[in-house]
Amino acid sequence: MAKVTLVEAITLAHNWEMSHDPDVLVLGQDVGRNGGVFRATQGLQEKFGNQRVIDTPLAEGMIAGLCVGMAAQGLKPVAEIQFMGFIYPAMDQIVNHMTRLRNRTRGRLTCPVVIRTPHGGGIHSPEHHSESVESMFCHIPGLRVVCPSSPARAYGLLLAAIREPDPVLFLEPVRIYRYARQEVEDNGQALPLDVCYVLREGTDCTIVTWGAMTVESLKAAEELARQGISAEVIDLATISPIDAETILDSVARTGRLVIVHEAARNVGVGAEIAAIVAEHGLYDLEAPIQRVTGYDTIVPLARLEHDYAPSVARIVAAVRATLS
């Protein structure tokens, strides 16, 4: 078993699936010869050729449209969008066609597409390169939105996403692409989509988070433990559709909920989670729900970016607030 980073795990998952399924293709800007901006597809073109790893023109709408056409014909394209801020030209294809072909044709045409894109900031790249606009996509029926937070989950969830018969937006937390190495068995085992992963058990407060914020949340849980507070940390993993049961079960035990996300607060996914718990778990709550989020502004330049994203201190303070 090899110890790999999150981005290396993504390469491994591509490699496994392309080796076992000739219908799987990779496309995007610079994904072939260069292996992508973050080298997530490194070595794939050499191995599988330029017909299966396609260096596309700079045209995100075209990339997404190609995916729709390929997928409706039985192929399984995996497209890379270089940064989440560049995904907007592809919105028409994603919203109007990729996620709806199945519906309007009663399943005669389907779109098993994966669109991968880096998620969030923290790597000193200005605004468009630091976007975490998942809530825009969670509003789209027919789309799954997935965000792994460790090498093992990146491997297993990407395999699951490629095998999924519906389109999946696969968000890769850029800040932790190379944050830690973890043993990942390259055995083609997918992990379940549509379920949360409990990363740390606790009894006093539930922290629900995803992506790079799992790291801050786990650090906050450590700090809270030192202060005698037991926090449970849940990685949402599939941001849409939300696994409400796992969250509600946890809140039923802890009585408190803090939601942590890097995205701006207004109509963020945290609002949906809070609403689910308000609708189905209100009487379990012993304190108001807290949200620790990015601010309702544009992600700032490098100097201030760490003030934008939730910090360990802000998470600790929010958990303490639910207990006070």
User: Which residues are at the interface with another protein (CB under 8 A)?
Assistant: 25, 51, 56-57, 59, 61-62, 64-75, 77, 89, 92-93, 96-97, 101-110, 141-142, 164-166, 194, 241-244
Residue 208 contacts residue 316 (beta carbons within 8 Å) = no
- Residue 164 has, within 13 A of its CA and on its CB side, a CA count of 28
- Spatial strand order of the sheet with 53-55 comes to 53-55, 24-28, 76-80, 114-119, 168-173, 144-146, 238-240
- Judged by beta carbon, residue 168 or residue 263, the one nearer another protein is 168
Cα 129 to Cα 108: distance, rounded to the nearest angstrom: 37
Q: How far is CA 107 from CA 112, 142, 165, in A?
A: 12, 12, 11
Cα 163 to Cα 100: distance, rounded to the nearest angstrom: 18
Provide the minimum distance between the beta carbon of 321 and another protein in the complex, in angstroms, as a whole number: 30
- Judged by beta carbon, residue 96 or residue 203, the one nearer another protein is 96
Cα 64 to Cα 77: distance, rounded to the nearest angstrom: 10
Furthest CA-CA distance within the chain: 60
Question: What are the tokens at 108?
Answer: 């005669």
- Judged by beta carbon, residue 13 or residue 68, the one nearer another protein is 68
Cα 237 to Cα 68: distance, rounded to the nearest angstrom: 25
Provide the minimum distance between the beta carbon of 46 and another protein in the complex, in angstroms, as a whole number: 18
- Judged by beta carbon, residue 190 or residue 315, the one nearer another protein is 190
DSSP per-residue string spanning 3-37? EE-HHHHHHHHHHHHHHH-TTEEEEETT-STT--T
Provide the minimum distance between the beta carbon of 107 and another protein in the complex, in angstroms, as a whole number: 5
Provide the minimum distance between the beta carbon of 73 and another protein in the complex, in angstroms, as a whole number: 4
Short-list 205, 207, 245, CA closest to 229: 205
Provide the minimum distance between the beta carbon of 131 and another protein in the complex, in angstroms, as a whole number: 21
- Judged by beta carbon, residue 101 or residue 263, the one nearer another protein is 101
Provide the minimum distance between the beta carbon of 125 and another protein in the complex, in angstroms, as a whole number: 25
Cα 257 to the chain's mean position, in Å? 21
Give yes or no: 124 in active site.
no
Provide the minimum distance between the beta carbon of 65 and another protein in the complex, in angstroms, as a whole number: 2
- Judged by beta carbon, residue 208 or residue 299, the one nearer another protein is 208
- What is residue 98's DSSP assignment? I
- What is residue 143's DSSP assignment? -
- Judged by beta carbon, residue 108 or residue 226, the one nearer another protein is 108
Residue 157 contacts residue 191 (beta carbons within 8 Å) = yes
Q: Of 129, 261, 280, 306, which residue is the catalytic one? A: 129
Residues assigned a catalytic role: 129
